[in-house]
Amino acid sequence: MKKLIPLCALIFSPSLWAETPAQFIASYSAEAAKSQPGFVADAARGQAFASKRWGVSAKLANCIACHTDDPRQPGSHAVTGKTIAPLSPAVNPKRFSDSAKVEKWFKRNCREVVGRTCTAGEKADFIAFATGAR
């Protein structure tokens, strides 16, 4: 029963409960499965997504333009040069620990780089890539 309560909460209100990388992947995957039955987050697909040049912004052409292709390394903002803390929660435990922050950055960066909001499946794949999940 104890296990059932958070599980229910996770299903009904993913954004409130997803506070670890694994929970974020689970909740975004669950959302993605609604339109793509059997969806499973995939790190390789996440890496391809992060590397894809979207043709929207010249300087911010893809995710790795700032975040680098190694989530364990710090990045550098392609316009301002500011250091960006690593994406990998193994190196930077603050990553993917706060749903408001995660949603804020997906919203901002997807609009900027991808030119639209990202799908739940893309977010799940991206976090799988960032956490190094295989």
Partner 1 sequence: MKTVISLLALLFSTASLADDLRMQHAYPAEYRSECGSCHDPYPPGMLNKDDWANVMSRLDRHYGTDASLDDKTMADIARWLERNAGRRAGAQGKPPRFTTTTWFKREHREVPAKAWQDPRVKTPANCSGCHLNAAKGNYNEDQIRIPGQNRRLEDD
Residue from 33, 60, 91, 133 that binds partner 1 (CB under 8 A)?
A: 60
d(CA 115, CA 56): 6
Q: How far is the CB of 80 from partner 1 (least distance, A)?
A: 4
Is 54 in contact with 114 (CB distance < 8 Å)?
yes
Residue from 57, 92, 97, 99 that binds partner 1 (CB under 8 A)?
A: 57
CA-angle at 95, arms to 10 and 32, nearest 5°: 40
37 binds partner 1, rule: CB under 8 A: no
Site for partner 1 in 72-131 (CB under 8 A): 76-77, 79-84, 108, 111-112
Q: How far is the CB of 117 from partner 1 (least distance, A)?
A: 13
Full DSSP string of 31-76: HHHHHSTT----HHHHHHHHH---SS-SSS-STHHHH-S-TTS-EE
Supply the DSSP symbol for 13: -
Whose Cβ is closer to partner 1: residue 34's or residue 59's? 59
d(CA 5, CA 60): 42
Q: How far is the CB of 82 from partner 1 (least distance, A)?
A: 5
Site residues, partner 1 (CB under 8 A): 57, 59-60, 76-77, 79-84, 108, 111-112
